[in-house]
């Protein structure tokens, strides 16, 4: 099993939105970075753990736990001229952009970016590195365990 941190802007899809989704599942649409796309296409597997992270908001941080619930498949938004994720160069017979489905495991308290930065066990976590802008990053098993321990604190 692998672990991933997946960023979502709460105005786009929040943990509360995921709670309200049918089967508590959402397609992770709109990824337009090749490295993040490649993670979904080549390295993610059904059952992998996901740290659902709120980004670009007043208090960023981990807001819940989820899991990958599908193999990668074409992101239909790339073909929709009305979508902000439209890509005129994408072709149905050779889609450029893929995504996976993510299913809620549980909503958690918010583990803030500040609290994460203060935890020595998370010092190597990619989301905490300067200049990291990726919306999907791998998380080590040790980092995942450390996050779970931090989430247990009140």
> In this predicted model, what pLDDT tens digit does every residue of 122-146 receive, in sequence order?
999 999 998 888 999 999 999 999 9
Stretches in the chain below the pLDDT threshold 70: 154
Q: What pTM did the predictor assign? A: 0.95
Report d(CA 105, CA 59) in Å as an integer: 22
Tens digit of each residue's pLDDT (9 = 90 or more) over 37-50: 999 999 999 999 99
Residue 105's pLDDT is what? 98
pLDDT reported for residue 61: 98
Hey, what domains does the chain have and what are their CATH numbers? 3-152 (3.10.590.10)
Report the alpha-carbon distance of residue 15 to residue 34 in Å, rounded: 25
Task: Give the integer Cα–Cα distance in Å for 140 and 53.
Answer: 16
pLDDT for the residue 153: 85
């Amino acid at each position: 099993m692998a672990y991933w941190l997946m960023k979502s802007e709460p105005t786009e899809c929040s943990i509360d939105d995921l709670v309200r989704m049918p089967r508590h599942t959402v397609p992770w649409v709109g990824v337009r970075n090749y490295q993040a796309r490649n993670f979904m296409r080549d390295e993610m597997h059904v059952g992998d753990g996901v740290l659902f992270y709120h980004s670009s908001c007043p208090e960023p941080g981990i807001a819940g736990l989820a899991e990958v619930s599908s193999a990668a498949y074409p992101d239909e938004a790339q073909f929709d001229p009305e979508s902000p994720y439209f890509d005129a160069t994408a072709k149905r017979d050779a889609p450029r952009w893929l995504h996976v489905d993510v299913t809620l495991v549980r909503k958690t308290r918010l583990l803030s970016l500040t609290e994460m930065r203060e935890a020595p066990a998370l010092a190597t976590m990619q989301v905490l590195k300067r200049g990291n802008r990726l919306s999907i990053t791998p998380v080590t098993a040790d980092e995942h365990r450390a996050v779970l321990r931090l989430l247990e604190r009140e």
